[in-house]
Amino acid sequence: MSFYQKLRSIQRKNNSLLCVGLDPDIKKIPKFLLQHGNPVFEFNKRIIDATRDLVCAYKINLAFYEALGASGWYTIHQTLAAIPKGIITIGDGKRGDIGNSSELYAQALMDDHGFTASTVNPYMGHDSVSPFMKSKQHGVFVLVLTSNSGAKDMQYLKVGSRPLYEHVAAKVRKWNVNLNCGLVVGATRPKDLARVRTLAPEMPLLIPGIGAQGGDLQAAVRYGCDKRSEMAIINASRSIIYASRGEDFASAARTAAVTLRDEINEYRKTFFRPKRQT
């Protein structure tokens, strides 16, 4: 099954565009978990068990694990093993380097960890991200327009008559010969999100910035989805996993995820007429 097929399948099965970011900070997880041998994994597992039927994807930001040293690498493996098959897993490392190094980065994320998809930085060009694009089963989300304030430093620079981010989106569309490429576009930039969807009408969009970053959820759904009201992956991390710092953190995460999933689906009904699924 191709990556695009996997994504559509789980979005339809769980009726969800929601992605939960598993970005655990040992300083923020409930203190009672610290008595466990691996409190980070215990935290992740309970979040997964509470939300597994509500999501299409989990995104693991590698920085939160790499900072833990060797135990963090092992925790990634444990966490991925706890995620049900069929749910998309995104290794968020924003990789991108010269050919040999990129080959090894891809090997680590695709073969060692076994992520369904990865995030990559295209600044160094095609050869820096092409190792991630080789397998039709593995998705690769290319940074196009990020949600951080510093995005304006580079991504909006005019190249000819268009901003740089538009050129990147158009370039990735050409690279997408295996139909496994997607684009990362922040929910904090709704007008530009609409423009990216116009440039790439059928590609999946990974949309961070909802929740703690204050992104526009309504616009994320309206402009992020394809014509079938699918292929948008709307990520929320802190607003879900830290919905409570107490012993009820998992049930609070579920409540937050249900609320967000349902709000997304209401916007889908508002902006898209039901279409026959094929």
**pLDDT class for 54, splitting at 50, 70, 90?**
very high
Averaged over 87-92, what is the pLDDT? 98
**Catalytic-labelled residue, pool 13, 45, 85, 94:** 94
Residue 104: both structure tokens together: 């090894």
Does the pLDDT at position 94 exceed 60?
yes
**pLDDT class for 153, splitting at 50, 70, 90?**
very high
Look at 215 and 261; give whichever has higher pLDDT. Answer: 261
> In the prediction, which pLDDT does 210 show?
87
> In the prediction, which pLDDT does 111 show?
94
Averaged over 226-230, what is the pLDDT? 97
Phi, psi of 158 (to 5 degrees): -75, 130
Q: Which fold has domain 3-271?
A: TIM Barrel (3.20.20)
> In the prediction, which pLDDT does 149 show?
85
Q: Give me the chain's average pLDDT, please.
A: 95
Phi, psi of 159 (to 5 degrees): -120, 105
> In the prediction, which pLDDT does 215 show?
84
Averaged over 118-133, what is the pLDDT? 96
Tens digits of per-residue pLDDT, 12-28?
A: 999 999 999 999 999 99
Task: Give me the DSSP letters along the chain.
Answer: --HHHHHHHHHHHTT--EEEE----TTTS-GGGGGSSSHHHHHHHHHHHHHTTT-SEEEEETHHHHTTTHHHHHHHHHHHHHSPTTSEEEEEEEE--SHHHHHHHHIIIIIII--SEEEE-GGG-HHHHHHHHS-TTSEEEEEEE-SSGGGGGTTT-EETTEEHHHHHHHHHHHH-TTS-EEEEE-TT-HHHHHHHHHHSTTS-EEE---STT---HHHHHHHHS-TTS-SEEEEE-HHHHTS-SSTTHHHHHHHHHHHHHHHHHHHHHHHS------
Distance of alpha carbon 174 from alpha carbon 44, whole angstroms: 37
For the chain, domain boundaries: 3-271
Pairing of the two strands 117-120 and 232-236: unpaired
What one-letter code names the amino acid at 14?
Answer: N
Q: Compute the C-alpha angle 225/228/232, nearest 5°.
A: 25
What one-letter code names the amino acid at 254?
Answer: R
Averaged over 158-180, what is the pLDDT? 97
What one-letter code names the amino acid at 88?
Answer: I
CB neighbours of residue 1 within 10 Å: 11
Does the pLDDT at position 207 exceed 90?
yes
> In the prediction, which pLDDT does 274 show?
61
Q: Between the CA of residue 153 and those of 5, 163, 270, what are the distances in Å? A: 36, 11, 35
Q: Catalytic annotation on 94?
A: yes
> In the prediction, which pLDDT does 257 show?
98
> In the prediction, which pLDDT does 275 show?
52
CB neighbours of residue 179 within 10 Å: 13
